[in-house]
Amino acid sequence: MKTNAQLYEDIMDKLDFEPSVNASNITVAVNGEVVVLGGTVGSLFEKHTAERAIKSIAGVKAVANELRVELASQYRVSDVDIANAAVNALKWNSTLPQERPQVAVEGGHVTLTGKVNWWYQREAAEKAIRWLSGVKSLNNQITIQSSLSPKDIKALITKEFHRHAQVDAERIHVEIEGSKVILKGRVGTWLELQEAKRGAWSAPGVVSVVTDELVIG
């Protein structure tokens, strides 16, 4: 296991190496395998990119992202402009159903509501909005309509894990509570955890995936 000092050095090197992140106003605190990010960044894109970059580092098991978004002057736009851009981004996204999600904007903070049939559609709506200029935060409240029985959902997810080259299906136990998927067991890396989570979300009708009991190591 890396010491806090070694992990801190790896994190700072990674942030400096990441071309789309300005690390000059980012603070990092390391407590074992948990990393806390503080300070400010210039966009929501930078905030998510910094978190993703750190999660890829060996030895990091969790990231608390407390970065604040302080928009540069050239990216400050009105809520009306953000709302119009968001509506158009959703309108031109071919992965979304005809009944597009609804958008609400207040002070640069965007909320999405509505219903879709698949997790990838919920994710696509979020990605379409996340990188728009002026967006400080995004609250995705889009719900997924369930159409399969818990037994069917479990069978589909289990088969996907056995197909997936980056997921050790023998070490992951799948439980279903209604349309909520609970993953338990062990994975080797954060990336494997993410692939397992993505595989679970890909089953039709899944409305929630819980990985609190999926241990890295």
Kindly report the number of other CB atoms within 10 A of residue 177's CB atom.
10
When pLDDT is averaged across residues 25-41 and rounded to a whole number, the result is: 92
Measured in degrees and rounded to the nearest 5, phi and psi for residue 92 equal -95, 5
Q: Can you tell me whether residue 125 is helix, strand or coil?
A: helix
HSE on the CB side for 63, CA within 13 Å?
25
Q: Which amino acid is at 76?
A: R
Q: In which band, very low, low, confident or very high, does the pLDDT at 131 lie, cut at 50, 70 and 90?
A: confident
What is the sign, positive or negative, of the torsion defined by CA atoms of 44, 50, 56, 59? Answer: negative
Query: Within the chain, where are the H helices?
Result: 4-17, 44-55, 79-91, 119-130, 150-163, 190-201
Structure-token pair, residue 57: 């580092």
Distance between CA atoms of residues 49 and 36, nearest Å: 15
Q: How far is CA 152 from CA 7, 65, 144, 155, 175, in A?
A: 42, 35, 17, 5, 12
**Which residues are bridge partners to 213 per DSSP?**
184
- In tens, the pLDDT along 48-96 reads 999 999 988 888 888 999 999 998 777 789 999 999 999 999 999 999 9
Structure-token pair, residue 170: 């023998």
Q: In which band, very low, low, confident or very high, does the pLDDT at 172 lie, cut at 50, 70 and 90?
A: very high
Q: In which band, very low, low, confident or very high, does the pLDDT at 35 lie, cut at 50, 70 and 90?
A: very high
pLDDT tops 70 at residue 147: no
Distance between CA atoms of residues 123 and 176, nearest Å: 21
